[in-house]
Amino acid sequence: MTVWAAAEEPTPGGMVLIPGGSYKPLYAKAAKERVAPACFMDVTQVTNAQFLDFVRDHPEWRRSQVKRTLADAGYLAHWAGDLDLGPQGDKLRNAPVTQVSWFAAKAYCEAQGKRLPTQDEWEFVARADATRADASKDQAYLNQLLEWYAKPPTSNLEAVRSAPLNVHGLRGLHGLVWEWVQDFNSTMIVGDSRGDGSLDRNLFCGAGSLLGADVSNYAAYMRYALRSSLKGDYCLGSLGFRAAKSVHAAPQGTASTTTSTTAYELPCEWRTQDGKIVTLSSLRGKVHVLTMGFTRCKFACPRTLGDMHSIEQALGTDADSVGFVFLSIDPQHDTPERMTQVINDRKLNPARWTFLTAPEDVVQQTAVALNFKFQTIEGLFAHSNLIAVLDKTGTIVHREEALGADLAPTIAAIRKLFAAP
């Protein structure tokens, strides 16, 4: 692991400055070191008291008002009410808030002018113990992590400041509760990893082989496997979060605490193959068949596009009432010119087909909303597969995630929408 010195910047209250650096990721033996840029990170996890202040100021995130697409039924279920921590309130106030979804954690951070840490930032600092920036090769330290991870759920009642400091000045990265990261949906444990038994290999594109870099670090495998299993609306009693902030952040507008119910409501801009700037809300009013991928893909994406084309042909003249959408996860290479070339090469009807590209943060947020996972590996992507049928409001009414699946249920779902009033 390499650690870099960070430029002098004023450190926000309650945060510490984390120097930038590089580290060898757990999941890939042959991969190059990954870079974690300098950032600020909260010393502790966000507490119930802090989150209570947030929902008091943002009623749309109260338990009785949050939209179910943004948080499942477990959202803040350990509280007695919208603004009531209940009989365990004295303990809960200073304990890490749990049972909050990724969407809720993201909204909280944005309201503070911050963001969730990236996986690289979190894993970079999580290797530290009290005296070393990287203790990940110390078996005694790894055994201690496993003991912490085996603690009972009552860990979420312990005060965030009860956890020991690591060398960076952070508390509770291990030993209290798990933590959301910004790009949790980039985590996919496949190949020879120990988390592989609970995942379906058919769901993933073969863009790279994810072979464990250090199979002795089982604690880290547990973290990666957990992230692999998450969806953005999950609310778990063992999952909390802390905030981070970029050292050299670009100027931002007013922080958003968006309460989108579908991807169509995300206030994000995309560029079409014609170079036109649009939002996904422009897709409203028409049934769509949608996927995400990248045009350089040599395996899954061409097959998915072929399946979507087969769906189009099976619909006959009814296909004129359907839009077919390809959302790129590769903004660096999927330019309007490149996307137009793919449409022409595959002889797709541009009156029916729309290819869209957007900045990385837009792609990531949309992928979470669509429960789509992807990960950069040696310049390419491993990703889940998706053919989704969306009604005229943008609600997903059917999804297929296995390559080579029977297309009849997808076609039936589309025709059912035609019959709906």
Percentage of the chain lying above the pLDDT 90 cut: 55
Is the pLDDT at 147 greater than 50? The verdict is yes
Looking at residue 270, its pLDDT comes to: 97
Name residue 343's amino acid: I
- The torsion angle over the Cα atoms of residues 256, 261, 265 and 270, rounded to 10 degrees, is 90
Q: What is the pLDDT of residues 177-218, one digit of tens each?
A: 899 999 888 765 443 332 333 333 333 343 333 344 454 556
List CB contacts of 280: < 8 A, sequence separation 6 or more.
263, 264, 266, 268, 270, 366, 394
Cα 83 to chain center, whole Å? 28
Domain ranges in the chain?
Answer: 2-46+111-246, 263-419
169 against 268, higher pLDDT: 169
263 pLDDT tier (thresholds 50, 70, 90): confident
Q: Which residue, among 256, 242, 181, 186, has the nearest Cα to 40 in the 3D structure?
A: 242
Look-up of token digits 């009623």: 59
Segment of 72-76, 118-122, 222-226 carrying the highest mean pLDDT: 72-76
* Class of domain 263-419 as given by CATH: alpha beta
Report the C-alpha gap between 243 and 109 in whole angstroms: 6
> Assign residue 354 a region: left if phi > 0, alpha if psi is -120 to 50, beta otherwise?
beta
pLDDT for the residue 188: 57
For the ranges 7-21, 192-206, 356-370, the maximum mean pLDDT occurs at: 356-370
Closest CA to 98 of 214, 218, 255, 238: 238
405 confidence band (pLDDT: 50, 70, 90):
confident
Query: What pLDDT does 22 receive?
Result: 82
Q: Choose from 88-92, 209-213, 323-327 the range with maximum mean pLDDT.
A: 323-327
Paired with 387 in beta bridges are 400
- What pLDDT, on a 0 to 100 scale, did the predictor assign at position 335? 97
What is the pTM assigned to this prediction?
0.70
Average pLDDT over residues 281-286: 94
